[in-house]
Chains A and B, each alone.
Chain A
Amino acid sequence: MDFMTALPTILKAMTMGAVPILLAALGEVFSERAGLVNIGLEGVMAIGAFVGFAVGKMTGNLWLGLVVAMLAGVLINMLYAFCTVTLCADQVVTGMAINILAPAIALFGYNLFVGSNSANATGDQMASIAIPGLSSIPFIGNAFFNQTLLAYLAFILVPLVRYFFKHFRAGLSFRSVGENPHAAETLGIDVVRVKYLACIVCGALAAAGGAFLTLCYTPIYTDGIVMGRGFIALATVIFGRWSALGVLGASLLFGFFDGLNVALQAQFQSAPVMFFKMIPYIFTIVALIFFGSKHAGPKANGQPYFREQR
């Protein structure tokens, strides 16, 4: 394989593959910063992928599709919020329930939407916007500066999220709730409110990540389209040390290995491709081994918050 010839395509696959993971992972950062480990990202992304596809197709307005998808993501994630924040149910079990329920709802909706009208099976797609000059830079230009507007927004979100957690009082409230909710409560922070807000943001961003798959990547919805990206997003949050910049780096790294996997499959076609397919996931496992320390991350992460507990 001529690596330099394949590199621009690998980088393009990297950025395209990184965006849905990045969006979902940024949502998870909000959730985990507030002490909620939401492993239901996969399900929320599935809902976002379907609703974005269907509303975009019905209305012809892809941005409306995105907005409604985000609202649907918030709605489904409110189920998680109610169970884990109000009822203090186990976060992992609830997240798994979301992962079972949400794709099933999406598939149910798809069957109703497409029905016997196969014309609805193919949706519309956002056009790429090439930034003059920058998109012509060799190797990286097409990958980074010839993207859909949603992809640009996802990357712009990274410094905004970082700034929010570092410099906004609300960001500090999120962090304190994730570290020690009882101490935060004594300081006058409404812990339950913060946790619900985190779930709203998480649901919206994860659904936007799912919607990216059907609005920007390929114009179809299929059952299983998320393909484990929700779980990869969870891993990137840990690998990225619960920071927006770290999550960006981890998402791009995963996207790169995924692009490399495809390039190797394309060029070494007689080799056992399963070996290449393992590459991004081996990377994920290795990353978790080195960065998944129990002592890292918000201290109260994953623990139910009982206001009356002392």
Chain B
Amino acid sequence: MATNVTRRDAISLGLGGTVAACGLSLAGCGSSSDGSGTDSAEKSSYKVAMVISGPKNDGGWGQGHYESLTKAIESHPNWEMLEPKENTASADAASAAQSYVDQDVDLIIAAGNEFVSAWGDVVAEAADSNPNVHFLMTNTDPATDLADYETLEKVETVQVNLKQTGALAGVVAGLMTNAGQIGFIGGMRLPTTLTKYAAYLAAAQKVNPQVEGHYNFDAGFTDASFGTNITNQWIASNNVDVMWGDASAVDNGARQALEEAGVDTHFDIAQPIDSVGPDNPSVITSTVTDWMFGQAMDEVEAGSFGNGAVIEANMDNGGVYLGSYSDKVSQEVQDKIAKYTEQIKADTFLSDDDVDAIKSTL
């Protein structure tokens, strides 16, 4: 049966299609890369680029990576940072990496292991077509996450010492809680999240055996109102007065609830950037992560980068540390934290069994 297409139908069809196409393309346009694609044969200058799943200034995961890279660039003047590709969906991860490969960028960083599976083919093809390109993936365990990779010749990963990170937060929480009730929000039930929480609670109970922990590992990373609601519920029902979060925007919601409950009695420990300041009155300190991008850059320059090596960010190399304190943390408490920090650094504060005992209950 023949169908008559009127001029009005044609216009509306075209307009609808245009609207959808604009929508699909606009999200990625906010901060597209403008790398020049030039490269010097002598390698007197290098280029580094990063792909992030969220914004680079989200106050959490993305910003932690961006600040780490900015810090590394400051100490490596022969390196140029291309504008990071932000808000990259998993479906766009391969094309984002490929665009940097096409520019022969020396070091391409995946901010998180969510891009690892999508990058497999890009890494394999780049090994032949662009041998100067290196890939660094953060929060990635090569034994499990990279098992399907054809080659790891130009690949390294960064892992944070989660036991140290969790223990630092736990010491602060254990010393600062008045009610003996501490909370934790994680975005996803990942093994790394469980390890962080287990170390956090174990450390808090080490300095204050009365401490009880409350957790949620499935909060996601975007719904700030969930962070507000669950923290309110913990405050009302369990008297929780210290929170530590690993869920980006959701952590902001938790801070909102803590502020409403009173910033003199309810505290937040932020991560992974130093967030103490007037914008975050409930934040008393932060567990800060430096993703050791400078070390990776040094290895690229020296030609020693690759083969699936793991760079660990820990307290010895400055990859993990406590940020500044707010005035809510007394000098006496700061001194105690300093004492415990030395023990954590020397790995004499918590045993692996302490952490595993809690982890096995989660």
Contact = CB atoms under 8 A, between A and B. Distances in A.
Contacts of B362: 270
A222 B222 contact: yes
A1 B249 CA distance: 27
Interface stretch (B163-171, B211-219, B285-293, B305-313): B211-219
B22 interface: yes
B216 A265 contact: yes
Interface in A1-29: 1-2, 5-6, 8-10, 12-13, 16-17
B233 to A, nearest CB: 4
Contact of A218 (B54, B58, B214, B224): B224
A97 B236 CA distance: 42
Given A5-B236, A114-B55, A218-B253, A225 B16 contact: no
A258 to B, nearest CB: 8
A2 B232 CA distance: 15
B237 A6 contact: yes
A105 B22 CA distance: 9
The A interface is mostly helix, strand or loop, or mixed, namely helix
B27 A108 contact: yes
B23 interface: yes
Interface residues of A, number: 65
Contacts of A121: 57-59
B256 A263 contact: no
Contact of B252 (A12, A16, A96, A218): A218
B326 interface: no
B228 interface: yes
Nearest to B254: A218
Nearest to B225: A217
Nearest to A89: B12
Given A12-B232, A110-B30, A223 B15 contact: no
A189 interface: no
Interface in A240-296: 258-259, 262-263, 265-267, 269-270, 273-274, 277
A274 B218 CA distance: 8
A269 B214 CA distance: 7
Interface in A201-225: 213, 217-220, 222-225
A222 B16 CA distance: 26
A266 to B, nearest CB: 4
Interface in A95-119: 96-98, 100-105, 107-108, 110-112, 114-119
A108 B30 CA distance: 5
B223 A227 contact: yes
B177 interface: no
A98 B19 contact: yes
Contacts of B57: 114-118, 121
B226 interface: yes
A110 B55 contact: yes
A104 B24 contact: yes
Contacts, number: 171
B157 interface: no
Given A89-B12, A122-B279, A227-B223, A266 B26 contact: no
Given A6-B237, A13-B232, A103-B27, A79 B222 contact: no
A111 B31 contact: yes
Nearest to B15: A83
B20 A100 contact: yes
A108 B26 contact: yes
Given A107-B30, A222-B222, A13 B252 contact: no
B245 to A, nearest CB: 13
Contacts of A9: 229, 232-233, 236-237
A266 B23 contact: no
Contact of A101 (B19, B232, B253): B19
B339 interface: no
B230 A102 contact: no
A116 B66 CA distance: 10
A5 B27 CA distance: 43
Contacts of B226: 262
B55 A88 contact: no
B66 to A, nearest CB: 9
B311 to A, nearest CB: 26
Contacts of B24: 100, 104
B29 interface: yes
Contacts of B161: none
A54 to B, nearest CB: 13
B349 interface: no
Contacts of B16: 83, 89-90, 93-94, 97
Nearest to B216: A265
A133 B305 CA distance: 68
A254 B15 CA distance: 35
B16 to A, nearest CB: 5
A227 B219 CA distance: 13
A9 B3 CA distance: 58
B23 A267 contact: no
Contacts of B30: 107-108, 110-112
Interface of B: 8, 11-13, 15-16, 19-20, 22-27, 29-31, 54-59, 63, 86-87, 214-218, 222-230, 232-234, 236-238, 248-249, 252-253, 256, 279-280, 361-362
Given A224-B222, A263-B233, 4 more contacts: A13-B229, A105-B23, A218-B225, A262-B229
15 contacts: A6-B236, A9-B229, A9-B233, A9-B236, A97-B16, A100-B19, A101-B23, A104-B26, A105-B23, A111-B31, A114-B57, A115-B57, A117-B57, A217-B228, A222-B224
Interface of A: 1-2, 5-6, 8-10, 12-13, 16-17, 79, 82-83, 87-90, 93-94, 96-98, 100-105, 107-108, 110-112, 114-119, 121-122, 125, 213, 217-220, 222-225, 227, 258-259, 262-263, 265-267, 269-270, 273-274, 277
